[in-house]
């Protein structure tokens, strides 16, 4: 009973110590200055932390090793064979079993083995094409990860902008509430204006909480992408004002046709399917197998033996032999023919997928470029609209103080300013995301 009590005490102490250590670690982490990350820093960390991207790299490595193994099958292999055969003796030279060479037989030989056939050559070419497919898919994964990081990175910045916009709107609503109360106390406006200002102020407070929640969500999403230990103590660099210019459509089209990984993957997969057909057909042709043996196959484990035929004679046990085997397929109930048909069906499907990838690329070039072009054009307009809305609010507030504008005009001006500022922040995110999508086609980010 006492042992159980002591065990419970030890366990409770261990849990308490672990909790204290975790709390101390959290305090140490929170006391450190936040890590400042640029977009390139975020991309580098995401590549090291992304399970999907690392899986694509693993698949690329596996495809490379498949090619190495297929290439090795085309080259001679060297093996060392060592064995001992014992046969029950019966007074004869071979023992009980007449197929054996003697009662004691020692085999220690090196074997150089080579197989020559069309199937092996085609299989090596197929693995080369599949490695190209894996490389293209790894690049697709890398570019897809770029889009995800850009969307989350600039989504966080846009959320910060919206939070700042709502903060400004809440401050303006508070100022207007105080102004309306002051004017009411002087008998210049009705109490209805104060009520409207109070509603506007409360709405902005609610919007402020929602904006803060959205900013925290983006911050947590980015932490999951970038850190294996879920570190929230970081900030990002706001470079939205330094967005790169949009390339011309001709340059984008040229780069997309050359560097598009999806098109390369589809093309390499079609090549692999063609080589699979050749490898299946290779099973219909003869295969030549060559073996060269060097070593000992004798009644004694020695380089020389003494025999009596009938006089005493020393013979050399160390020597070589060579074999050549030509295997000609004659009949296997149509299995090889069936494999050729299967491979040809896969080849035709791969060619159809390649054609689809080519058509889809042409459509994506136009669609994504138009999206980026529109986002870039609207970015300038929305920036101007936000500046005009700010000036409109200032003038409307002055007119309200002078008794020339109504409370509804002031509230409308405040809402318009917040809407235009948020739209400008969203346009910055949209343009960055459009550039990232173009990068998936051209690889020029």
| 325, part of any domain | no
Is the peptide bond prior to 310 cis by the omega test (within 30 degrees of 0)? yes
> What is the spatial distance between Cα 141 and Cα 136, in angstroms, rounded to a whole number?
9
Nearest-5° angle of CA 236, CA 240, CA 242?
A: 115
45: number of Cβ within 10 Å = 20
Q: How many structural domains does the chain have?
A: 1
16: number of Cβ within 10 Å = 10
Q: What is the b/e burial string over 231-251, where b = at least 16 CB atoms within 10 angstroms of the residue's CB?
A: eeebebeeebeeeeebbeeee
Q: Answer yes or no: are the C-beta atoms of 326 and 286 closer than 8 Å.
A: yes
DSSP per residue, 258-272:
HH-HHHHHHHHHHHH
> What is the spatial distance between Cα 275 and Cα 342, in angstroms, rounded to a whole number?
13
SS3 state of residue 109: strand
Which residues span the domain enclosing 204?
Answer: 153-260+352-445
> What is the spatial distance between Cα 177 and Cα 195, in angstroms, rounded to a whole number?
9
| 403, part of any domain | yes
> What is the spatial distance between Cα 427 and Cα 432, in angstroms, rounded to a whole number?
9
| 412, part of any domain | yes
| 136, part of any domain | no
> What is the spatial distance between Cα 367 and Cα 374, in angstroms, rounded to a whole number?
11
| 255, part of any domain | yes
pLDDT tens, N- to C-terminus, the chain (445 residues): 445 544 444 545 444 444 544 444 444 545 678 899 998 999 999 999 988 999 999 999 999 999 999 999 889 999 999 998 889 888 787 788 888 888 888 889 999 999 888 888 888 999 999 999 999 889 888 888 988 999 999 999 999 999 999 999 899 889 888 988 888 888 888 888 889 889 989 998 999 999 999 999 999 999 999 998 888 899 999 888 887 888 888 888 888 888 888 888 888 989 899 988 988 888 888 999 999 999 998 888 888 887 766 677 788 888 899 999 999 988 888 888 998 999 999 999 999 999 998 898 889 889 989 988 898 888 889 989 999 999 999 999 898 888 888 888 888 998 999 999 999 988 888 888 888 888 888 866 5
pTM of the entire predicted model:
0.73
Q: Answer yes or no: are the C-beta atoms of 421 and 165 closer than 8 Å.
A: yes
Q: CATH number, domain at 171?
A: 1.20.1600.10
Q: Answer yes or no: are the C-beta atoms of 124 and 67 closer than 8 Å.
A: yes
> What is the spatial distance between Cα 113 and Cα 319, in angstroms, rounded to a whole number?
17
- What confidence tens digit (pLDDT) does each residue in 369-411 have? 998 889 888 888 998 999 999 999 999 989 888 888 888 888 8
Q: Answer yes or no: are the C-beta atoms of 269 and 129 closer than 8 Å.
A: yes
Q: Answer yes or no: are the C-beta atoms of 414 and 172 closer than 8 Å.
A: yes
| 280, part of any domain | no
Q: Which residues pair with 297 in a beta bridge?
A: 107
| 213, part of any domain | yes
145: number of Cβ within 10 Å = 19
By C-alpha distance, which of 175, 176, 193 is closest to 184? Answer: 193
| 32, part of any domain | no
> What is the spatial distance between Cα 177 and Cα 166, in angstroms, rounded to a whole number?
16
């Amino acid at each position: 009973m006492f042992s159980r009590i002591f065990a419970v005490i030890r366990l409770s102490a261990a849990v308490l110590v672990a909790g204290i250590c975790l709390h101390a670690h959290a305090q140490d982490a929170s006391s450190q200055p936040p890590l400042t990350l640029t977009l390139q820093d975020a991309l580098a960390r995401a590549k090291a932390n992304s399970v999907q991207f690392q899986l694509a790299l693993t698949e690329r490595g596996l495809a490379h090793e498949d090619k190495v193994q297929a290439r090795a099958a085309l080259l001679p292999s060297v093996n060392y064979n060592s064995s001992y055969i014992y046969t029950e003796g019966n007074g004869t030279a071979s023992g009980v079993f007449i197929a054996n060479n003697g009662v004691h037989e020692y085999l220690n030989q090196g074997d150089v083995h080579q197989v020559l056939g069309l199937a092996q050559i085609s299989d090596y070419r197929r693995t080369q094409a599949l490695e190209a497919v894996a490389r293209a898919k790894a690049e697709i994964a890398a570019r897809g990860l770029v889009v995800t990081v850009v969307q989350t990175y600039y989504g966080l910045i846009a959320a910060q902008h919206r939070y700042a916009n709502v903060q400004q709107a809440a401050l303006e609503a508070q100022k207007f509430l105080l102004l309306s109360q002051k004017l009411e106390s002087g008998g210049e406006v009705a109490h209805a204006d104060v009520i409207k200002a109070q509603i506007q102020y409360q709405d902005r407070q609610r919007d402020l909480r929602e904006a803060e929640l959205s900013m925290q969500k983006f911050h947590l999403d980015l932490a999951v992408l970038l850190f294996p230990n879920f570190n929230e103590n970081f900030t990002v660099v706001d470079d939205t004002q330094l967005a790169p210019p949009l390339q011309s459509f001709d340059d984008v089209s040229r780069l997309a046709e050359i560097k598009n990984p999806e098109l390369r993957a589809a093309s390499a997969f079609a090549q692999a399917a063609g080589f699979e057909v050749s490898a299946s057909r290779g099973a219909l042709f003869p295969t030549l197998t060559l073996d060269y043996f060097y070593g000992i196959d004798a009644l004694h484990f020695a380089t020389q033996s003494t025999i009596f035929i009938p006089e005493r004679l020393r013979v050399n046990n160390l020597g070589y032999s060579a074999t050549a085997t030509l295997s000609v397929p004659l009949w296997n109930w149509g299995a090889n023919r069936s494999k050729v048909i299967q491979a040809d069906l896969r080849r035709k499907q791969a060619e159809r997928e390649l054609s689809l990838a080519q058509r889809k690329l042409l459509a994506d070039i136009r669609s994504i470029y138009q999206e980026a072009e529109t986002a870039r054009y609207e970015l300038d307009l929305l920036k101007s609209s936000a500046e005009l809305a700010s000036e409109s609010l200032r003038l409307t507030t002055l007119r309200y103080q002078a008794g020339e504008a109504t409370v509804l005009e002031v509230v409308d001006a405040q809402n318009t300013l917040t809407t235009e500022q948020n739209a400008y922040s969203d346009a910055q995110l949209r343009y960055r995301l459009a550039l990232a999508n173009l990068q998936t086609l051209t690889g020029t980010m």
